């Protein structure tokens, strides 16, 4: 898929067939997060790939905006190692870039995905840390539900020239 076409046509998918994705596909998708830029090239991003149905259903119940996990074929948790990058503004940007890479990769491979925010909601952070047994120096930033979409969505034209400023505001 051409990059610009992929960016313009990627949509958030929240309903999946439940078909479990193969480990090799999930590893390839998660690894795309390592190709994202990071502040000072510190590379704090780490991932937990999960496909256990009980975990998917539990997080889909326990997190307000995570219903898509219940029918997904897998999930990917994107987190930051705060020992590598202690500045929250930087590690959030670093992991957000990784999430975008992963979402674009999911789309390019013909699957669907949706970003589910975790950080900065303390309740969500604690649920995720407890679910996965995450040590204290890691900060979960976002989850991705992914899998085979129930239905495809058309791309939207979101361009808004009025919000592009030149030289000054």
What are the chain's domains?
17-149 (3.40.109.10)
Is residue 154 very low, low, confident or very high in pLDDT (cuts 50, 70, 90)?
confident
Question: Residues of the chain with pLDDT > 70: what percent?
Answer: 99
Quick check: bond before 109 cis, omega within 30? no
Instruction: Give whole-number Cα distances, 100 to 10, 32, 115, in Å.
Output: 10, 9, 9
- Given a contact cutoff of 8 angstroms between Cβ atoms, the answer to whether 99 and 33 are in contact is yes
Instruction: Output the pTM of the full model.
Output: 0.95
H-type alpha helices, 18-78: 23-31, 53-62
pLDDT, tens digit, 9 for 90 and up, residues 64-120 = 999 999 999 999 999 999 999 999 999 999 999 999 999 999 999 999 999 999 999
E-assigned strands of 32-160?
45-50, 74-81, 112-117, 138-147
- CA 125 to centroid of chain Cα atoms: 15
């Amino acid at each position: 898929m051409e990059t610009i076409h992929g960016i313009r046509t990627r949509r958030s998918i929240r309903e999946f067939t439940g078909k479990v994705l193969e480990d090799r596909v999930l590893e390839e998708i998660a690894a795309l997060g390592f190709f994202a830029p990071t502040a000072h090239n510190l590379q704090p991003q780490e991932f937990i790939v999960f496909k256990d149905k009980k975990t998917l259903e539990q997080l889909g119940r326990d997190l307000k905006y995570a219903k898509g996990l219940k029918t997904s074929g897998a999930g990917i948790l994107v987190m930051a190692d705060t020992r590598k990058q202690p500045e929250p503004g930087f590690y959030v940007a670093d992991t957000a870039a990784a999430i975008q890479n992963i979402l674009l990769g999911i789309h390019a491979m013909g699957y669907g995905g949706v970003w589910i925010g975790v950080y900065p909601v303390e309740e969500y952070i604690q649920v995720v840390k407890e679910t996965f047994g995450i040590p204290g120096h890691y900060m979960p930033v976002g989850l991705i539900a992914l899998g085979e979409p129930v239905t495809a969505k058309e791309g939207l034209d979101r361009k808004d020239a009025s919000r592009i400023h030149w030289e000054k505001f």
